[in-house]
Amino acid sequence: MKPAAGSLLISEADIQRRITEIGAKISEDYKGGSLTVVGILKGSFIFIADLIRRIDPSILVEVEFITASSYGKGTVSSGEVRIEQDLSVPIAGKDVLLVEDIMDSGSTLNAVHKLLTSRGPRSLRIATLLEKESSRRQPVALDYVGFRIENVFVVGYGLDFAQHYRNLKEIRILDAG
């Protein structure tokens, strides 16, 4: 049987193991506190669902989403970021964790980070499942990184190509052509 989308890059088990580690680290870092987790849609929805369940229940977790898009239908970032849907609560004075599926050029994270910073959170950190090697990188400080990957286009586990393949449990390199 032909594998869906392309060759396997990160297995379901490896993803889950790494998220457990990141969840433990976040639980330690925010011990005794509360946390507003902001997922960047759509790509982060599966990662955020798994991640928040690895955060110790003694931490009060609030979940919010913001919709940003930079890619359109292609596989190369346009560098332009549109905020299509904003948060539903104020974040002033809160400890905020911004959650992204993948950082490529960094323009999405940069734009959203700037926007959220302007609203005066008490703290603002970034978690990304994947960090892609990129030659056009904007400087963004990442606090929690799942995996560093080569400059290939990947799908699965929330990541799409033209809105498809988000439902794969693992991450695959998209077949060219």
Q: Are the beta carbons of 57 and 70 closer than 8 angstroms?
A: no
d(CA 20, CA 91): 26
- Which residue number, 121 or 156, has a Cβ lying nearer to ligand IMP? 156
Q: From residue 82 to residue 101, what is the string marking binding to ligand IMP with x (rule CB under 6 A)?
A: ------------------xx
Which residue intervals of the chain are DSSP H helices?
Answer: 12-29, 45-52, 107-117
Task: Give, as one character, the DSSP assignment of residue 22.
Answer: H
Report 23-42 residues binding Mg ion (CB under 5 A).
Answer: none
User: Could you tell me which stretch among 28-36, 47-55, 91-99, 154-162 binds ligand IMP (CB under 6 A)?
Assistant: 154-162
Rule CB under 6 A: is residue 170 a binding residue for ligand IMP? no
d(CA 154, CA 174): 5
Among 43, 106, 156, 158, binds Mg ion (CB under 5 A): 43
Catalytic (active site) residue 104: yes
Phi, psi (degrees; rounded to nearest 5) at 50: -75, -40
Hey, what are 43's tokens?
């790509």
Rule CB under 6 A: is residue 66 a binding residue for ligand IMP? no
CB of residue 75 to Mg ion, shortest distance in Å: 13
- The catalytic residue positions are 104
The residues that touch Mg ion, with contacts defined as CB under 5 A, are 43
